[in-house]
Each structure stands twice: as C-alpha cells, then as structure tokens.
Amino acid sequence: MELSMLLIMILLLIFVSTAFFLFRISTSPKAMEDIPGCLGWPVIGESLSFLSDFSSPSGICSFMHKRQQRYGKVFKSFVLGRFTVFMTGREASKILLTGKDGMVSLNLFYTGQQVLGPNSLLQANGETHKRLRRLIAEPLSIDGLKKYFHFINTQAIETLDQWSGRRILFTLKVIGNMIMSLEPSGEEQEKFRANFKLISSSFSSLPFKIPGTAFYRGMKARDSMFAMLDSIIAKRRNGEVIQQDFLESLIIKHSKGTNTVDDENKLTDKQMKDNILTLLVAGHDTTTAALTWFIKFLGENPAVLEQLREEHLQIKASRNDGTDLTWSEVNNMPYTNKVLSETLRRATILPWYSRKAAQDFEIDGYNIKKGWSVNLDVVSIHHDSETFPDPEKFDPSRFDAPLKAFSYLGFGSGPRMCPGMNLAKLEICIFIHHLVCKYKWRALEKDDSVQPTLVRMPKNKYPVMVEPL
C-alpha cells in the first residue's frame, strides 16, 4: 500500500513537473536567454548537482564556484522546480537586500506559503510588511527581551544538567515560552513540540497534500497548533489567564478582538496566528543550527575554545559573591559575539536569500524581468577571499575590525534583516556561558555531512559526550 502510494506520487510528480517545465520553457521571457548559464536536464534542471553539493560539507560553494568561473557573478539555472538567477557580490546584495522601491519581494516555496499562511510576515510586502515588523520589533528588542532573561538562563542550566548529548530542545522551549508562556515540560509542551516538528519538516517537502505525505501532516499540525492558540487567546480575552508574553502584547495592543472600533492598524486573529507560527518557524531551527555549529567549531578549534572559556571564566570570577549570570554580563561578551559571527559566516546556515522581482530592473548589465526568482548566493559572499583571507579557516579575529557593508550577512541586511537577532544572540550567549564554564565535551561521531534542508545543520546533529570540567 505504502509502496504503491509512493509510486503514484512519483509518477504524478514527474507528470506535473514535465508539464510545468514545458509550460515554463515556452513562456520564459526572452531576456532569460541573455543571461549566461545552463538550465540542465529537462524537468530536473540542475537540481541533482545542486542538492548533492548542498549536502556536502562546503554546501553550495562548489556548485556556485564552478558556474561563477564559467559564467561570472550572475548566472541562470533551473533548480528545485524554478528558473532562478543566482547572483553574488556586495553590489548584488546591496541591490537585492535593500530592495529599493519595492523592487523585490521574498520568494517562499509553495509549501512554506501554505504552512505559514497568507498573513505571514514572510509573505507581506510594502506597507503591510513595515507594519507587521513594527509590531514584532518591540518584544524582540534588547529591552523587550530583558524579562525573558531569567527563564532562558534557568532553561540553559537545566538543559545542560540533563543533556543527553543528542539534541538541543532548549531553543524550542525558549521561543514557546517567550511567545505564549508555554511551560518547559508537560502535556501542552509535548503537543506543541510534536506539532512543531511536523510543521518544520513539511517546509521542504513535496507539494502534495495527500494523506501520508509530509506536507499533509504539516498542514494538519498547523490546524492543531491554531486550535491550541485559539484556546489560549480565548482564555486571555476572558481574563482567565494573564501573562506577560508576546501573545499578550499582541492581544492587548494590536488585536481587533479587544476593540469594537474597526481599526485598520489592528490584527485579526488569523493575522496574529500566522505570524506567531512564522516567528516559531523562523526562530527555532535557525537558532538550534547556529548553536550546534558553534559547539562543533569550538570542538574543532581548541585555541578558540580556550580564549572563549577565558572570557567566560573571567566574567564568573568578577562575580565573587557566587550569584548567577546577570543581564549586563550577557550583554558584554565581545569575544563570544565574534565567535558567533564567525560561526554564521563559516556555516552560512541560510545559504541563499531568495527574492522575486516585483518589477523589471537591471543588475550588472543584465535585465531582470518581473516575476523572476533571484537568489543571492550568500555562501560565496562569506567565502570571498578578498574580505576573508583563507576563508575555510575558523578565525573569529576577522571580526576585530568593522567589515565593509554587505560583506557579512549572518542575519541578513535591509528591511528584511532578521528581527529575532537579539533573541538568538541572547540564547546562544547564555547557553555557551554555562557550557564552557562547567563542562567539557567531545564529539561522538566523525561525520562532516550536512542535512539537505533549507537551514543548514550537521546531518548527525553533532552528538557529543558532555562531562563536568
């Protein structure tokens, strides 16, 4: 039964992709012919070599390098069912990321669009996008995060005390608590975690909403997550539960349900829920991946670990009354921040930033037509030997002096720059503080392969054996 289902799906996929490819070939704008590059095989295009390079330790670097050497900094390809123009360099990033005059919009895959919903920040443009960003800016600002410090600190200590060495569940607990005061354990947390896992894996799945597929399960999990949110929102509105979290600030200040006056600037429940899901999805896998790479790079670079540990032991020693880490200490960890930047440069956990041309424009002498998918190749920017000599080397001192604008894009840049940057830094700095002050660890497996998902992560999740120092 399972096998026949799989065969039907594969046949369906081949049929749909062939029809789609032929349709797109016949309708692809003439200007695409002027852009150098190769579209590869019918139907699959260059997807196979893209995917195989994507899951190699150096990521899409070799895919990009080969083509950049052949065609230059701008080239076309057909990967993952899309005609795409790849670009790299500081100039391209400035144009694409600042997206002057609404030139480009974000380009989510179909599954991502469906799972996050039509009101998601990731699908919003122009004024709607600006308005949504304003709403989430305050709770995610440094000041807004202060009230979560204690919870994050306690969770980091507890997670490390019980760390099985295989998975970091810490970041999901943090974001669940920050957004809707979810307790770190118990039935609700379990349900939340199970739904989140399904939603997250449906993101890079095939777009078939048939029972048994990852996409179908992801959409069901979205419904279940929304039912959970509906019940929390109802309890908050009728005063049964009062909390000081992100959801509360949306309900009090920004939701339509609190006011009889129909205010255009307020959010409907649908808008609230799509965006809560967006923050969960955008904030969890990325922070977990960053923390995992961070620990892996430390393990592989003992001199960096030593200098980092020095910074943290000094912080601890300066606090001779035996009290715990403080808010001001966590905001003053200069070397840790450089190690984080170097981690995000070397790992480039989001290897390309995808945009859709919202209008015709010219870049590097090429005409880009409205509707085209344009991807910024961030891996090449982060491995440009002019800015980062010996780019494969893990060297946090690269960040001793400020870099030229658009040469480092760990959290992106421009109007879509990561709004969760402060939260991610806070979680990582706290976790690393307790890790390096109290523990040593060693890798349990030697495997450099990378998971072929949108967020780059070591395939084996970097299992480690942790012991007290």
Please name the helix (run of DSSP H) or strand (run of DSSP E) that holds residue 13, with its range, or none.
helix 2-27
* Site residues for ligand HEM per CB under 6 A: 106, 121-122, 133, 278-279, 282-283, 286-287, 290, 344, 349-350, 353, 410-412, 416, 418-420, 423-424
Closest CA to 277 of 236, 234, 218, 237: 218
Phi/psi zone of residue 89: left (φ > 0), alpha (ψ -120 to 50 degrees), beta? left
In sequence order, what are the residues at sequence separation of 6 or more whose Cβ sits closer than 8 angstroms to the Cβ of residue 350?
A: 286, 378, 412, 454, 455, 456
> In the complex, what is the shortest distance from the CB of residue 278 to ligand HEM, in angstroms, rounded to a whole number?
5
What is the β-pairing status of strands 82-87 and 373-377?
parallel
SS3 content of the chain, % helix, strand, coil (to 5): 55, 10, 35
Alpha carbon distance 432, 61 (integer Å): 29
Please name the helix (run of DSSP H) or strand (run of DSSP E) that holds residue 174, with its range, or none.
helix 170-180
> In the complex, what is the shortest distance from the CB of residue 122 to ligand HEM, in angstroms, rounded to a whole number?
5
> In the complex, what is the shortest distance from the CB of residue 421 to ligand HEM, in angstroms, rounded to a whole number?
6
Task: Name which of 420 and 458 has its Cβ closer to ligand HEM.
Answer: 420
Q: Taking a C-beta distance cutoff of 8 angstroms, is the pair 346, 394 a contact?
A: yes
Task: Name which of 43 and 64 has its Cβ closer to ligand HEM.
Answer: 64
Task: Name which of 410 and 458 has its Cβ closer to ligand HEM.
Answer: 410
DSSP secondary structure letters along 215-226: HHHHHHHHHHHH
Task: Name which of 39 and 180 has its Cβ closer to ligand HEM.
Answer: 180
Q: Taking a C-beta distance cutoff of 8 angstroms, is the pair 392, 365 a contact?
A: no
Task: Name which of 122 and 429 has its Cβ closer to ligand HEM.
Answer: 122
Task: Name which of 29 and 412 has its Cβ closer to ligand HEM.
Answer: 412
* Residue 5 structure tokens: 């289902």
Task: Name which of 133 and 220 has its Cβ closer to ligand HEM.
Answer: 133
Task: Name which of 429 and 436 has its Cβ closer to ligand HEM.
Answer: 429
Q: Helices (H), strands (E): how many in the chain?
A: 18, 9
State whether the Cα torsion 15-17-22-26 is positive or negative: positive
Question: How big is the CA angle at 317 (ends 311 and 320), to the nearest 5 degrees?
Answer: 155
For residue 469, the cross-strand partners are none
For residue 352, the cross-strand partners are 377
> In the complex, what is the shortest distance from the CB of residue 350 to ligand HEM, in angstroms, rounded to a whole number?
5
Look up tokens 């998975």; give the residue.
Answer: 167
